[in-house]
């Protein structure tokens, strides 16, 4: 059975439009309580810096308390912080209010179970099945309680720092940190500074409306200019909820998730700490696959979405995986994607090797890749369109063995992503535009 509300990363949409309303958030809390906290228990709620976070926090708090659950309000913290603290506090459920890399007028709600892991498709379907029922309101003696946790940020900073090698510091490194005016705006600079780095923060002045606006991992242009301008060794950019990471080398060049995955995988291979396959997605650059193959490192592809990368890692005994966008997972350090913790692992490689970020990334060639997002009025599966599939087969025949084509519906936006990759940049771009036109016509 397909899901109506949950996408690849929780429920997301424009604030004020169904489902992102206060009424829906309260019913969602009640539905989640029925499925996951049926006899009371504890629920953690964290959020990013969007103005609408206050509204959704209050609605979720009311829904859970009315259903008999105790609620701990953590305030603005990265998504992975909620995953970690849910596990640390032995809570039954963790809730994050965030639309990740989307603009401020969007928001979303996602959940972590008591082990700090995202919910399975089956559990999300079970929650959706309860949404049509009236919200629970127990009698006064059975209601839950709510309180704010003032120590959550400091606890999470300490956890992040604990993943950095004890015999190393960041002394001698100048780092420009871009917090996307989001959830990591405090924990990022403070964690790096506590480890000895000289930190220059940008994108760390949230006002409720500037999250992800011309900053962060999806808009790193200012960071690319700032790093060489101030003579920094490296730049770090998170997205609005802190689970994505891209980095900037000393020359101002972008180092994406594929390159970061290559750096971590080869470093762990060299030190004998690499276990199982490295997991990317169907969108991972072919250059990553070839570079890892040349180092005798097994590489597997999962569906797009960090939950599917995580599933592949767990089922095959791997510990590191990620997406081109910067959703990275290091399972021997934490349970979910964490931009700051992954950045610390890369910084550790820089310190241990004595090499610059550009040198570490140089071993992975990046094949030209063109992505075209085709906006559609209604969700559609490009695999089910005969016209689109005929065009894909024709394009693949032109590429032969020199590239790849991937068409997929976004799990977070009403778009079809058309990706073409290959050795010939001109052909790649031409095929992507042609396929995008076919998809647009089919979607009308």
Residue 32 has pLDDT above 70, yes or no: yes
Answer yes or no: are the C-beta atoms of 405 and 419 closer than 8 Å. Answer: yes
pLDDT band at residue 307 under the 50/70/90 scheme:
confident
Active site residue 325: no
Q: Are strands 93-97 and 106-113 parallel, antiparallel or unpaired?
A: antiparallel
pLDDT band at residue 9 under the 50/70/90 scheme:
confident
The residue count for the chain: 444
Neighbours of 332 (CB within 10 A): 11
Mean pLDDT (whole number) for 308-326: 95
Mean pLDDT (whole number) for 72-99: 97
For residue 309, the model assigns a pLDDT of 94
Among the listed residues 30, 52, 98, 100, the single catalytic one is: 100
The helix (H) or strand (E) run that includes residue 44 is strand 42-47
For residue 58, the model assigns a pLDDT of 98
**Per-residue pLDDT tens over the stretch 117-127:** 999 999 999 99
Mean pLDDT (whole number) for 395-415: 85
Task: Return the ∠ at Cα 326 (arms to 50 and 172), rounded to 5°.
Answer: 95
Q: Helix 257-271 and helix 286-294: axis angle, to 10°?
A: 10
**Per-residue pLDDT tens over the stretch 243-273:** 999 999 999 999 999 999 999 999 999 999 9
Instruction: At 119, list the tokens.
Output: 């919910």
d(CA 219, CA 254): 11
Please enumerate in sequence order all residues whose Cβ is within 8 A of that of 429, keeping only pairs 6 or more positions apart, or say none.
Answer: 368, 370, 420
For residue 173, the model assigns a pLDDT of 98
For residue 245, the model assigns a pLDDT of 98
For residue 306, the model assigns a pLDDT of 86
User: Does the N-terminal peptide bond of residue 19 adopt cis geometry, omega within 30 degrees of 0?
Assistant: yes
Mean pLDDT of the chain: 95
For residue 423, the model assigns a pLDDT of 86
For residue 1, the model assigns a pLDDT of 64
Answer yes or no: are the C-beta atoms of 250 and 273 closer than 8 Å. Answer: no
Q: Is the dihedral of CA 383, 386, 391, 396 positive or negative?
A: positive
Counting residues of the chain whose pLDDT is more than 70, the rounded percentage is: 99
Residue 401 has pLDDT above 80, yes or no: no
Name the pTM for this structure.
Answer: 0.90
Q: Lowest-pLDDT range, 96-105, 182-191, 271-280, 383-392?
A: 383-392
Residue 76 has pLDDT above 90, yes or no: yes
d(CA 411, CA 146): 33
Residue 304 has pLDDT above 90, yes or no: no
The helix (H) or strand (E) run that includes residue 293 is helix 286-294
- All domains of the chain, ordered by start, with CATH? 11-150 (3.40.120.10), 155-253 (3.40.120.10), 255-361 (3.40.120.10), 369-443 (3.30.310.50)
């Amino acid at each position: 059975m397909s899901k109506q509300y949950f996408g690849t990363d929780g429920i997301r949409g424009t604030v004020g439009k169904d489902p992102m309303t206060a009424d829906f958030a309260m019913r969602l809390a009640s539905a989640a309580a029925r499925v996951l906290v049926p006899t009371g228990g504890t629920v953690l709620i964290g959020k990013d810096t969007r103005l609408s976070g206050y509204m959704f926090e209050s609605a979720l708090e009311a829904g859970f308390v009315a259903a008999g659950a105790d609620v701990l309000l953590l305030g603005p913290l990265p998504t992975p912080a909620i995953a970690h603290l849910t596990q640390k506090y032995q809570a039954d459920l963790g809730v994050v209010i965030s639309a990740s890399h989307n603009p401020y007028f969007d928001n979303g709600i996602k959940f972590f179970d008591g082990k700090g892991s995202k919910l399975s498709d089956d559990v999300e379907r079970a929650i959706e099945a309860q949404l049509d029922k009236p919200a629970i309101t127990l009698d006064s003696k059975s209601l839950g309680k709510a309180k704010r946790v003032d120590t959550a940020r400091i606890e999470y900073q300490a956890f992040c720092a604990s993943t950095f090698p004890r015999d190393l510091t960041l002394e001698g490194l100048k780092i420009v940190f871009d917090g996307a005016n989001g959830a990591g705006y405090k924990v990022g600079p403070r964690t790096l500074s506590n480890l000895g780095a000289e930190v220059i923060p940008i994108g760390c002045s949230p006002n409720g409306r500037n999250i992800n606006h011309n900053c962060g991992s999806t808009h790193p242009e200012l960071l690319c200019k700032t790093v060489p301008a101030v003579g920094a060794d490296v730049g770090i950019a998170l997205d609005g909820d802190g689970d994505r990471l891209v980095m900037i080398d000393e020359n101002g060049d972008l180092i994406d998730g594929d390159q970061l995955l290559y750096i971590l995988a080869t470093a762990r291979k060299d030190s004998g700490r690499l276990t199982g396959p490295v997991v990317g997605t169907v969108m991972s650059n072919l250059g990553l696959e070839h570079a890892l193959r040349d180092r005798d490192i097994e590489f597997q592809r999962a569906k797009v979405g960090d939950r599917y990368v995580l599933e592949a890692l767990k089922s095959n005994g791997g510990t590191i995986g990620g997406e081109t966008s910067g959703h990275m997972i290091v399972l021997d350090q934490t349970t979910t994607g964490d931009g700051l913790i992954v950045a610390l692992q890369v910084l550790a490689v820089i310190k241990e090797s004595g090499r610059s970020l550009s040198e570490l990334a140089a071993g992975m060639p990046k094949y030209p890749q063109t992505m075209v997002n085709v906006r559609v009025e209604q969700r559609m599966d490009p695999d089910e369109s005969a016209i689109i599939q005929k065009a894909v087969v024709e394009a693949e025949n032109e590429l032969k063995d020199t590239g790849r084509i991937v068409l997929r519906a976004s799990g977070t936006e009403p778009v079809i992503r058309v990706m073409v990759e290959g050795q010939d940049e001109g052909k790649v771009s031409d095929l992507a535009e042609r396929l995008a036109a076919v998809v647009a016509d089919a979607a009308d």
